[in-house]
Structures are given as C-alpha cells and as structure tokens.
C-alpha cells in the first residue's frame, strides 16, 4: 500500500461530522425572521448545510442559503454562536450562526421564498423563539440573540446550551 493509499484509508476511517450555517435577521423592532420548512416540523432560520465538498465556508453557506431561501443577499456580520449538536439518527452537527443584520421595511417586502423548501415566513419576538424553533435550534438562537444584544463575543454551545465548564 502506498502512502497515498494509507492517507486515503485514514481519512475514510475518520468520524463524520455535519456542518450547517444560518443567519439571524431582525427587523427594526428586534423581532427575528423565521421560515417555515415544508419538509419537517417547526420553524427555522434561513440557512442550511455547508457544502464542504466544494470548499464552501460556513459564512459563505449562510449567505448563499439566505439568498436562495428568502432572496436576501447581504454581507453577514459577526459569528454569534457555534453549537456542537448531537441528535439521534444523525452524525453530530457543528452549527454556525451569523448576524444577518436589521432588515428595513423595503427588504422585508422584498422577501421571496424558495417554494421548493419553504411555506412561509414571519417575525417573532425574541422571548418566543424557543416556542417556534424546536430543540437545540431554539436554544442556540436564544443564546445567539443574547450575545448580540449584550455585545458579548461569539458563544460556544453544546446542544444549544453553554457548557458547564467553559
């Protein structure tokens, strides 16, 4: 076996980890923009899977997915949260959540949903996020919103919660 074969076998033996990225968009009142997928229960943030096979970065994925899903293509702000999320029936997920900024009335009026994946969108008060976003996504979004509002740096999360001993 050659060194190239050894390296390929080593890479194939490594654990699989998924990567996802999303943007947290707000309106001028601080409400968060959520989208309703047609392929699963609950609401979501504009975002999706990082296409790592093409070399896409999480930031690029969040911007691409936002443009595809809601027709909003703006430079994203700072990284708000990174969440290590373990779920039943899937490999672990590293989720990146970026500040999408504040959308004005004209931008909100220009939202065009990707009909293949989304049913609707709405603006939700921050206190209601965990009632609309299921599981670790709701917790992740709540913590990211808190970090954004407080000016705190990027928060590290595990299943949407801050680790006990950071």
Q: Are strands 93-102 and 79-85 parallel, antiparallel or unpaired?
A: antiparallel
CB 33 within 8 A of CB 110: no
Q: How far is CA 44 from CA 6, 71, 106, 137, 164, in A?
A: 41, 16, 22, 8, 26
Give domain status of residue 132, yes or no: yes
Q: Is residue 3 part of a domain?
A: no
Q: Tell me the C-alpha distance between 60 and 22, whole Å.
A: 10
| pLDDT for residue 1 is more than 60 | no
pTM summary value? 0.91
Q: What are 89-123's pLDDT values in tens digits?
A: 888 999 999 999 999 999 999 999 999 999 999 99
Domain membership flag for residue 85? yes
Query: Does 146 map to a domain?
Result: yes
Whether 138 maps to a domain, the answer reads yes
Is 157 part of any domain? Answer: no
Q: Which class for 128: exposed (0-12), middle (13-18), buried (19 or more C-beta within 10 A)? A: middle
Residue 134 lies in a domain: yes
Q: Which domain holds residue 110?
A: 13-151
Q: How many domains does the chain have?
A: 1
The pLDDT tens digits for 15-37 are: 788 999 999 999 999 999 999 99
In angstroms, the CA 110 to CA 71 distance is 7
Task: For residue 161, tell me if it sits in a domain.
Answer: no
pLDDT tops 80 at residue 11: no
Domain CATH number, residue 101: 3.90.79.10
């Amino acid at each position: 076996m050659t060194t190239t074969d050894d390296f390929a076998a080593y890479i194939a033996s490594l654990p699989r980890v998924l990567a996802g990225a999303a943007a947290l968009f707000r309106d001028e009142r601080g409400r968060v923009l959520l989208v309703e997928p047609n392929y699963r229960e609950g609401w979501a943030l504009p975002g999706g899977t990082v296409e790592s096979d093409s070399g896409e970065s999480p930031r690029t994925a969040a911007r691409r997915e936002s443009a595809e899903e809601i027709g909003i293509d703006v430079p994203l702000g700072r990284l708000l949260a990174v969440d290590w999320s373990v779920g039943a029936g899937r490999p672990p997920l590293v989720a990146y959540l970026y500040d999408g900024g504040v959308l004005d009335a004209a931008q909100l009026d220009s939202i065009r949903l990707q009909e293949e994946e989304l049913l609707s969108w709405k603006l939700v008060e921050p206190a209601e996020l965990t009632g609309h976003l299921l599981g670790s996504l709701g917790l992740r979004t709540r913590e990211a919103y808190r970090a954004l509002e407080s000016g705190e740096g990027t928060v590290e999360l595990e299943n949407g919660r801050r680790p006990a001993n950071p």
